[in-house]
Amino acid sequence: MLKEFKEFIARGNVMDMAVGIIMGAAFTAIVNSAVGDLIMPIIGMATSGVDFADKFVALDGGTYASLEAAKEAGAPLITYGVFVNAVLNFLIVAFCVFLLIKGVNSLKRKAEDPEVQDAPPPPKNIVLLTEIRDALVNNAAQKPSAKPKAKAKPKTKKAPAKKK
């Protein structure tokens, strides 16, 4: 069983998946920072300084000065601002993954395209044989086609009849 587990782990798919998960976790931190530190402040400026991370609705009907105050009071909350941030995070990650996949597919198509790849030059003997063939074809095309004439049947003279 241990041997099978080692074979499973050593397969390329499992290792690729592990690398993908690690890279995804690191990428998530970058996207969260981009949304929280770059995009949301710009959206906040466009909406007269509104910070979506602090937007909430208290279900108990109370009015609270901030999200932290509502949480300290133990009020049931719908924090739609956090949801908006999560949606933006998702959209940015999805768009980045789309661009990444599009780039990878483009590289794959270039690698598979036979016209893009340079063919190795043919061996010298093949080049020589090709030149000989072309020369023979050219010579045959330049000579008039001389069809052999049908041989006329020799006229046979009838031997004079012998006199008896």
- Please write the tens of the pLDDT for every residue from 82-114: 888 788 878 887 887 788 889 888 888 887 776
Tell me, yes or no, if the pTM score tops 0.85: no
Domains of the chain, first to last: 2-134 (1.10.1200.120)
Residue 136's identity, in one-letter code, is L
Number of C-beta neighbours around residue 34 at 10 A: 16
pLDDT tens sequence for the chain (164 residues): 888 877 776 776 777 788 888 988 888 888 788 877 888 788 778 877 767 778 888 999 888 988 889 999 999 998 888 888 788 878 887 887 788 889 888 888 887 776 655 678 889 999 899 999 999 998 888 876 655 565 656 666 666 666 65
Average pLDDT over all residues of the chain? 80
Q: Which residues pair with 78 in a beta bridge?
A: 57
Which one, of 96, 104, 67, 95, lies nearest residue 82 by Cα? 67
